[in-house]
């Protein structure tokens, strides 16, 4: 049993198709099918039920894939441990985050880490927080980055920064006449005097209004529900969309109101913005954390990346795009 065998079986299992797995592995479909068949012959068991569409793992196949993933992770840990002996001349860093977080937070840190350590392999796993929790638990990533709570018994977390949500309303919305003077994106990013004297609005003022919410990610419907429940009402969601960026565009088009994080304001590079309204701290503030599995082996490379990310957050150089100006490191 070698790494190629493990990788090929896992690829077919994940793709549920020999043809799609072959494309992913850059091999021909006939050669992959023959290769898997030879593995099954060697093991004396059938790994895949080819009578169904899409193909499925047999009980033996599920057991094989489970152990294959463990073996590959052990090999990765071994390689990282060996690279630690060679002063980080090789090794890997595996980070998981949402697509929104990757674009807004990780691009700068990955680029700078690669410049410092070009021999280190960097990989990003783009997934929602539920999937990231599973990847961390299985040891398939070193860290996850996000705002969702993880079980403290199984995971460790270190707060990187605090993120704030704002009530976002189109300037054309009738609700604007009953709300206080709004904040602009520039007010928030530049912390203008108007921003500093702005008082939070009671979210109860918008009870009954139509909301737009994402159906996945860190700022999904559950986030909206939690905030509104704290104010004594259940939000009426008129549109459920896939991403927080789509929520933003729907609000700008006056298709509903929403709660939007300031990271989107900082990094979205949007030309037009809705009106923003401050919310109470207990509703608005959420911690962005660096999360790892307790008692997991963390290589020197992964630890070095975590340190760099925290340094960039501390000095502000992760704030790129929009009105936010990057602070240069000395």
Per-10-residue mean pLDDT of the chain, 330 residues long, equals 81 91 87 88 90 90 88 72 60 87 82 88 86 86 86 86 93 94 94 93 94 88 92 94 93 97 87 95 91 84 87 63 37
In this chain, the answer to whether the domains covering 90-160+287-315 and 164-285 adopt an identical fold is yes
Which H/E stretch holds residue 288? strand 285-293
Instruction: Please report, for the chain, the start and end positions of each structural domain, with discontinuous segments joined by +.
Output: 3-68, 90-160+287-315, 164-285
Calpha distance 140→78 (Å, rounded): 14
For 90-160+287-315, CATH number out of 3.40.190.10, 3.40.50.720, 3.40.50.1820, 3.30.43.10 equals 3.40.190.10
- What radius of gyration, in Å, describes the C-alpha atoms of the chain? 24
* Domain covering 164-285, topology: D-Maltodextrin-Binding Protein; domain 2 (3.40.190)
Buried b (16+ CB within 10 A) or exposed e, 242-262: ebbbebbebbbeebbbbbbbb
User: Is 1.10.10.10 the CATH classification of the domain at 3-68?
Assistant: yes
Model pLDDT, residue 48: 92
Could you read off the pLDDT of 270-311 as tens digits, one per residue?
A: 989 999 999 999 999 988 899 998 888 788 888 888 888 888
Q: How far is CA 148 from CA 154, 157, 198, 286, 291, in A?
A: 14, 11, 27, 9, 10
CB 166 within 8 A of CB 259: yes
Calpha distance 175→206 (Å, rounded): 8
Could you read off the pLDDT of 58-72 as tens digits, one per residue?
A: 999 999 998 888 787
3-state DSSP assignment of residue 126:
strand
């Amino acid at each position: 049993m070698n790494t190629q065998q493990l990788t090929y079986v896992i690829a077919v299992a994940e793709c549920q198709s020999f043809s799609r797995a072959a494309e992913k592995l850059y091999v021909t479909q006939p050669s992959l099918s023959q290769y898997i068949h030879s593995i099954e012959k060697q093991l004396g068991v059938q790994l895949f039920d080819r009578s169904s569409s899409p193909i499925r793992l047999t009980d033996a196949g599920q057991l094989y894939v489970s152990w294959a993933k463990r073996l590959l992770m052990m090999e990765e840990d071994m390689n990282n441990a060996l690279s630690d002996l060679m002063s980080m001349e090789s090794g890997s860093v595996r980070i998981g985050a949402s697509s929104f977080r990757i674009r807004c937070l990780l691009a700068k840190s990955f680029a700078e880490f690669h410049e410092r350590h070009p021999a280190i392999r960097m990989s990003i796993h783009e997934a929602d927080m539920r999937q990231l929790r599973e990847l961390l638990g299985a040891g398939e990533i070193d860290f996850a980055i996000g705002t969702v709570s993880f079980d403290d018994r199984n995971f460790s977390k270190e707060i990187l920064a605090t993120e704030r949500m704002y009530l976002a309303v189109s300037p054309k919305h009738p609700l604007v006449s009953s709300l206080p003077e709004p904040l602009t994106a520039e007010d928030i990013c530049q912390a203008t005097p108007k921003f500093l004297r702005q008082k939070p609005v009671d979210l109860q003022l918008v009870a009954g209004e139509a909301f737009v919410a994402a159906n996945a990610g860190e700022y999904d419907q559950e986030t909206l529900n939690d905030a509104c429940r704290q104010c004594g009402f259940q939000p009426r969601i008129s549109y459920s969309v896939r991403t927080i960026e789509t929520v933003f565009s729907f609000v700008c088009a006056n298709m509903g109101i929403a709660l939007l994080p300031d990271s989107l304001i900082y990094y979205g590079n949007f030309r037009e913005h809705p009106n923003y309204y401050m919310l109470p701290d207990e509703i608005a503030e959420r911690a962005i954390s660096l999360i790892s599995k307790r008692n997991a082996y963390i290589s020197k490379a992964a630890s070095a990346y975590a340190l760099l990310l925290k340094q960039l957050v501390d000095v502000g150089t992760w704030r790129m795009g929009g009105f936010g100006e990057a602070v240069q490191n000395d």
